[in-house]
Structure 1
Amino acid sequence: MPSFKDFTESDLDSVFLNPNEFGTPILIEDELVVVVMDDEKMVERKLFKGAEGFHTEELLFYVKRNALSFYPRPDNLVVFDNVDWKITDVQEDVGLLTVSGERVSG
């Protein structure tokens, strides 16, 4: 008998990561993958970081655990949509990775 986890994992592609629903195709390290951007969650997590004169941009997205050929790790640099981002946090849950990153410019 299928478990709840089986049902949620099957919904990842058909609903949550579906480009016709919530998903957006994005190039990550030259790999086209479907992600879900979460600007509202980033606002909840945002803390003042950085020094005067610097602007910190933050990124939070969800991607299927096996969609990337690598595992994003904190402090790694990743090219996301042709922009370099430093990974700050990665959490794994029910087949998804929640990835946070930041970009500092002066």
Structure 2
Amino acid sequence: MNFKDLIEDDLKTFVNPDEFGEPAIIEGESVIVVPDADKMKERQLAKGLEGELHNEELLFYVEKSQLSFYPRPDNTAVIDGVKWRITDVQEDAGLFTITVELISG
């Protein structure tokens, strides 16, 4: 087993619904996501936004291989029937970190 295989095994554990993962529907696709409210708070604090948020935001991880599209900032995505605007996307070791904000109206 090489290092890449070990990372892939760790990733499978991380997104496992019996561990941290939760089922979600993103753009009609059934996927497993790992929400991270703590990381979202860290980012808000770093931006000095604590207590000033007017938009609901989410940060979650999803395996790149589970999505048939590449999420891009400023695009919209329907997640569990709710329309969100993608504000940030990071990719690392086959995993997307996606931040979205609720589109009101």
TM-score (norm 1): 0.86
Alpha-carbon spacing, 1:55–1:105, altered in 2? closer, same or farther (3 Å):
farther
Name 1:68's counterpart in structure 2: 67
Partner SS state of residue 40, structure 1? helix
Please, what is the CA RMSD of the aligned residues?
2.1
Runs of 5+ unmatched residues, structure 1: none
Per the alignment, residue 18 of structure 2 pairs with 20
The residue type paired with residue 69 of structure 1 is S
Q: How many residues align structurally?
A: 101
AA in 1 matched with 2:56? E
The reply to whether residue 59 of structure 1 matches residue 58 of structure 2 is: yes
Deviations 1:53-100 (A, max 9, x none): x82110100000110010100000000111111001100111100000
Runs of 4+ residues over 2 Å off in structure 1 = none
TM value normalised by structure 2: 0.87
- Which structure: greater helix fraction? 2
Instruction: Determine the C-alpha separation between the residues in 2 that align with 1:75 and 1:20.
Output: 32
- Maintained 8 Å contact 2:85/2:103: no
Structure 2: 5+ residue stretches without partners: none
Offset of residue 104 of structure 1: 4.6
Pair 1:94-2:93 in alignment: yes
More strand by share: 1
Deviation at 1:10, TM superposition (A): 2.0
Please tell me whether the aligned partners of residues 89 and 101 of structure 1 are also in contact (alpha carbons under 8 angstroms): yes
Report percent identity of matched pairs.
58
